[in-house]
Amino acid sequence: MLTLRLASGREARLLAGHPWIYRNEIARVDDEGEPGAVAHVLDDRGRFLGQAMVNLKSQIAGRLLTRGEESIDGAFFARRVREAVGRCGRSVSGPEACRLIFGEADHLPGLIVDRYGDLLVIQILTAGMERVREAILAALRDATHPRAIYERNDASPRKLEGLELRKGFAWGEGETSLWIQEGGLSFSVEVAAGQKTGFFLDQRENRQVVKGLAAGRDVLDCFCYSGGFTVSAAAGEAASVVGIDLSAEAIAWAEQSAEQNGLFSRCTFTIGNAFDALRTFDREDRRFGLVILDPPAFTKGKQALEGALRGYKEINLRAMKLLSPGGVLVTCSCSYHVDPPTFLEMLRAAAADAHREFHLRELKTQAADHPILLAARETQYLKCAILEALD
């Protein structure tokens, strides 16, 4: 067994429940081994703290698997997968589309698994999980009995771990285009070509909020992707809904979903830049009763935070100006580097510059099947603020 010894005084985060060890917190690793190998973690006095997957090529050099001295084998991973699948809101008989495994929050660091009916989609983001890929696939087959398992191992974090990018069927075969049911609506999902694993499952509960806010309003959905918010707003009896996205492919999926639900007549979809569209609507003096902003993460790291906040402020300021009196802004950020206090402060600055006053009706987060590990704030990445214009 490899041994990782922490530098003096660097054990506090682990003892508080956080699962990460940064490279600069390590005093030494006895016989480094292959990237992703499991090591015993000791403090500077030799006290046992747990077992972690270790990759010194990554800034996050250690990811804790367990705080015990148990065997890390196929039975270990089978048990962890069963526990994750059995958490609240998840099961093979639960929501037709849901997240089954959410990395560190499910004590399986670097592993994401989403379920779309009888198809599983996995992302392996760390060298440690790559080493036990076959054990994970076997555990998933035993726990969920899927038709097939598709890999979306084309995410950029793999590069930081020294891993190749790839995608395709890891087990089984079949179609990658499918339909899912959510809140009484049908949505088109393409797991091979779509964003993330095909659909933004983390916004499921927030889409229901939008559905309840939309009645009688003219709605603008920026960064609409495959139409999750757009179709939900139309189903909520919106007077009209405009969906905008830069991707022609995403717009095509959104149109399919609107048509499938008999809501196409209320929806207008446009291929375009949301920043430009917001400026154009302002020049045209066009107003909306509900504006939705769900942009991609503007920053993947702390070094780009200042620029990201400028981008967030610009789109929110422009959206605020487009709201009719009593209008509602549903605005999101999916970057964990923008924490909730920073996000709200940006919204306060945008409202001041827009010369408008708002009530914060609610500040929501990701769906419950994306659990938040209390000791690791990085697992709470999604912010969704619901603001009501007072003028």
Residue 117: which domain range? 74-174
Task: Answer yes or no: do 355 and 249 share one domain.
Answer: yes
The CA distance from 306 to 127, in Å, is: 31
- What contacts 24+ positions apart, CB below 8 Å, involve 299-307? 299/335, 299/337, 299/338, 300/156, 300/335, 300/337, 301/337, 302/337, 305/337, 305/338
CB 318 within 8 A of CB 279: yes
The CA distance from 257 to 204, in Å, is: 15
**Domain final residue, candidates 66, 90, 110:** 66
Number of domains in the chain: 3
The CA distance from 334 to 293, in Å, is: 11
**Residue 181 falls inside a structural domain:** no
- pLDDT value, residue 95: 65
Task: Answer yes or no: do 208 and 336 share one domain.
Answer: yes
- Give the domain CATH number at 362: 3.40.50.150
pLDDT averaged over every residue in the chain:
95
**Domain final residue, candidates 23, 50, 66:** 66
Task: Answer yes or no: do 333 and 208 share one domain.
Answer: yes
The CA distance from 80 to 100, in Å, is: 11
| Full strand arrangement of the beta sheet holding 48-54 | 20-22, 60-66, 48-54, 37-42, 2-6, 26-30
Task: Answer yes or no: do 132 and 254 share one domain.
Answer: no
- pLDDT value, residue 31: 75
Q: What is the mean pLDDT of residues 309-322?
A: 96
User: Model confidence over 197-232: pLDDT tens digits?
Assistant: 999 999 999 999 999 999 999 999 999 999 999 999
- pLDDT value, residue 30: 86
Q: Is the pLDDT of residue 178 over 90?
A: yes
| β pairing state of 267-271 and 240-245 | parallel
* Catalytic residue set: 334
Q: What percent of the chain has pLDDT over 70?
A: 97
